[in-house]
Amino acid sequence: MLIAIPDVLDAAALAEVRRVLDAAEWIDGNETSGRQAALAKRNRQLPEDGAAARAAGGVILDALGRTPLFVAAALPAKVFPPLFNRYEGGQDFGLHVDNAVRMKRGSDFRLRSDLSATLFLEDPAAYDGGELLIEDQFGTQTVKLPAGHMVLYPASSLHRVTPVTRGVRLASFFWIQSMVRDDGARRILFELDQGVQAVAAVQGQGAAATVKLTGVYHNLLRRWAEV
For residue 122, which phi and psi values (nearest 5 degrees)? -130, 145
**Residue 96 marked in a binding site:** yes
**Residue 98 marked in a binding site:** yes
Amino acid at 19: R
Q: Report the Cα–Cα distance between both ends of the chain, in Å, rounded.
A: 21
**Residue 218 marked in a binding site:** no
Q: How far apart are CA 92 and CA 78, in angstroms?
A: 28
Amino acid at 14: L
Report which DSSP code applies to 109.
-
Q: How far apart are CA 16 and CA 54, in angstroms?
A: 13
CA proximity to 173, closest of 88, 108, 113, 90: 113
Half-sphere exposure of 86 (CA within 13 A, CB side): 16
**Residue 169 marked in a binding site:** yes
Name residues whose C-beta falls within 8 Å of residue 133's C-beta, 6 or more positions apart in sequence. 140, 141, 142, 143, 159, 160, 161, 162
Give the annotated binding-site residues. Answer: 96, 98, 159, 169
Give the annotated binding-site residues for 2-oxoglutarate. Answer: 169
Give the annotated binding-site residues for Fe cation. Answer: 96, 98, 159
